[in-house]
Structure 1
Amino acid sequence: MQWSSFVAFALFAPSHALIRFGCSQLVVDRLDPLVNPGEAPSPHLHQIIGGNSFNISMFPENHDPAKLSTCTTCQPADDFSNYWTATLFFRARNGTFKRVPQKGNTFFEGSNGGMTVYYMNNQLADTAQPANVTAFKPGFRMIVGNPMSSKKADVDRYPQLTYTCLQNMGTRYPETKNLPKKACPSGIMVNVRFPTCWDGVNLDSPDHNSHMAYPISGNFESQGPCPATHPVRMPQLMYEVIFETKAFNNPDDWPTDGTQPFVWSFGDGTGYGNHGDYIFGWKDDSLQKIMDEHCFVNCKTMRTQTMDQMNACAVSRKVNENVDDWRPELPGGPQLRLKATDGTV
């Protein structure tokens, strides 16, 4: 490992063994093959990374991203999974909207937007100890969070969905459940951590999350035990999405009613609707081999590709609409929710 990389990741060293990698943007499109399979357009706009077999419908019985994709926007060459979140928009004083671009994280500055992905395989500092995690299986998929959440109690059901107001690119704390209320000099980081306990049977569920659960107490990092209903310990999957807000940080451009100006593409201006989607697509048993290696960031069993190869992988939008210019409304026209229903924001 490069010494500069070690310094950057030292924060994690006392408590994690993990892989961390960048993924460039595959497409920004109004598709959601998990919640709205077969619908084009889906109700709101998403930014997607990963394998280029991403499509309108990705039913597990006939769609294995590892077999159907010919390239991936992610650094691991064997990872054809798809990862996605909603997009963020700036709401101007005149009521128009502009999409906020994503930017690469530290050490991934050359990526075309996208996000950073973590798979944590061991919460112990001693990486020689067994990882004791079972990698996701072909056909596995899940969602965390709920775009309809409108109060803090809703998002508290998902304890590790947060935001970080970046004072610089090294900022990691504090984390909040609501969107930042002040301008963030280096952007807004959206942190999406998925539950880590699997029922051991179902690769999916009707709501895409009940086959997964959180530890009974604590969390993955604190070695919290899984419930008896969901006994299989899975890797901690985490996204970091950095929205570059520098073009929108002038307070003279912010709304005069005291609300912060950023809204999710589904209309939520509180931040409580934060959510993320995942479809597994690692080739063969490549992820399990990495998880079993007990490695930290750089793993011998992880084949990688160059930033140019990551950026070259892309697909065309299936929904023909302009999502990049100033718009009179959000794509799909969702109703705005600018204040929480319980008065917390």
Structure 2
Amino acid sequence: MRSSPKRLPALLLGTALIASVLGIGTVASAANSDSSAPTTSTAAASTHTGHVMAASTKASGDDPDGDGYIPAVPPVTGVTPSDRTPPPAYFHEFQANCSATHTAPDDPIVYPGQFGKSHDHTFMGNKSTNAASTTASLYGGATACKAPADASAYWMPSLFKGDQKILPVGPQTIYYKSGVTDYTSVRPFPKGLRFVVGNPMQSAQEFRAHKGFVEGWECGDSFFNTDIPASCPSRPDVQLNLRMQAPSCWDGKYLDTPDHKSHMSYTVVKPGTNDNMCPASHPVALPMIEFKMAWPVNGDMSQVRLASGRGYSFHYDFFNAWEERTLKALVDHCVVGGLQCDARGYDETKPQRGAVLNADYRLP
């Protein structure tokens, strides 16, 4: 393994080794990272065989030595978390509208190169995503996102009603927002960054307390559910919805770490204020991804479940493969610019500001 002063604590690595020997999984977070990610016990893991969050232990195209650390080249250094309060802007976001492309029991972040190792996932965006996906294989690939420059891979556990797999219909809303108060400090994702949001092993209480929890499972007038509701109104306009936010502060050093979380952190509150800023350990402010998913299912929901288990096992993955110029243009115009943009980078309430992309969703 690489010699690095920024590795995960020895306790975490030791726990992962024990879990490997026992045939179970473990999730733990390094200090100042995603502290809402729970640590699983042996008993809990044994009840979710096949759904544990494993540490990377296998060589892959992006991680040839298989230690789970993928360094950023070059790293981002010399950044101090911004604690300034910019001019008020209620919105600072744009949308990446991406449709579901396929499903497979693969996970190129958690189980790189291990086909069929994961529970079933529904993939959005890049059409080629599979267990062997790397930055190089995704970048520039065919995509089901409206912007052809977004070849990123987005995925989540598949949803079932009984034995029927229910796929989201049409472009799903994936927001790119500012997670920090100083939205002018947000910069684009580095090429190849990847992370997991949430944990298939989490309990209902841990899901509700997760820093990325927004409104839980929704349908009709029912909100803030930690599990999938037992029933939803049987109306054409009712779907099952879920929103969940990702951490948006990066350590500037690694594109991935063995637990797929420790290189990222949620924001912290500036003392004496209500302002959000990045912690010193993760000083680089990146866009905050928010999944807003909708599944076409309603009525009797008693047989609706996720491939990973109960509704509170929901989690999702992101693997960045944006074309750099396009992502920077959208971030600068919409996030840093304090706008509420659609997938073209256009804010209909401020038409005078123009759009980033043309009618074909490409840079002019």
Q: TM-score range by the shorter chain?
A: 0.5 to 0.7
Taking only aligned residues, the RMSD between alpha carbons, in angstroms, comes to 2.6
Shift of residue 52, structure 1, vs aligned partner: 2.7
Pick closer, same or farther for the CA change 1:121–1:288 going to 2, 3 Å: farther
One-letter identity of the residue aligned with 1:177: T
What is the match of residue 341 of structure 2?
297
Give the C-alpha shift of residue 19 in structure 1.
0.9
Q: Output the TM-score relative to the length of structure 2.
A: 0.63
Q: Find out whether 1:284 has 2:324 as its counterpart.
A: yes
Higher relative contact order (CA 8 A, sep 6+): 1
| Contact 2:180-2:285 at 8 Å conserved across structures | no
Aligned residue among 164, 188, 194 for 2:240 = 188
**Does residue 120 of the first structure (1) align with residue 177 of the second (2)?**
yes
Cα distance change of structure 1 residues 64 and 285 upon mapping to structure 2, 3 Å threshold: farther
Q: Distance in 1 between matches of 2:359 and 2:137?
A: 21
**Does residue 80 of structure 1 match 2:148?**
no
Counterpart contact for 1:188–1:245, Cα < 8 Å: yes
Q: Distance in 2 between matches of 1:147 and 1:130?
A: 31
Residue of 129, 147, 163 corresponding to 1:54: 129
Alignment partner of 2:190 out of 137, 152, 166: 137
Q: Closer, same or farther in 2 for the Cα pair 1:145/1:303, shift >3 Å?
A: farther
Consecutive unaligned residues of structure 1, counting only runs of 5 or more, are: 1-12, 92-96, 104-110, 255-259, 307-345
TM-score by length of 1: 0.66
Q: Secondary structure at the match of 1:79?
A: coil
Instruction: Give the C-alpha shift of residue 116 in structure 1.
Output: 1.5
Which aligned pairs between 1:248-287 and structure 2 lie closer than 5 A? Answer: 249-250=299-300, 260-266=302-308, 268-269=309-310, 271-287=311-327
CA contact (8 A) 1:122 1:131 kept: no
Q: Secondary structure at the match of 2:155?
A: strand
**Residues 1-345 of structure 1 aligned to structure 2 (within 5 Å):** 15-60=90-135, 63=136, 65-67=138-140, 69=141, 71-91=142-162, 97-103=163-169, 111=170, 115-121=172-178, 131-153=184-206, 156-160=209-213, 162-167=215-220, 174-185=223-234, 186-217=238-269, 223-246=275-298, 249-250=299-300, 260-266=302-308, 268-269=309-310, 271-293=311-333, 294=337, 295-298=339-342, 299=345, 300-303=355-358, 305=360
Q: Aligned partners of 1:35, 1:303: CA distance in 2, in Å?
A: 36
Paired with 2:212 and 2:89, the residues of 1 have a C-alpha distance of 22
- The structure-2 alpha-carbon separation of the partners of 1:288 and 1:122, relative to structure 1 and needing over 3 Å to count, comes to farther
Deviation at 1:154, TM superposition (A): 5.4
Q: Give the whole-Å Cα distance in 2 for the aligned partners of 1:101 and 1:45.
A: 12
Distance 1:265 1:55 in 2: 17
SS at match of 1:292: helix
Q: Aligned to 1:272, what secondary structure does the other structure show?
A: helix
Equivalent residue pairs, number: 253
Q: Tell me, in whole angstroms, the C-alpha distance in 2 between the residues paired with 1:130 and 1:142.
A: 22
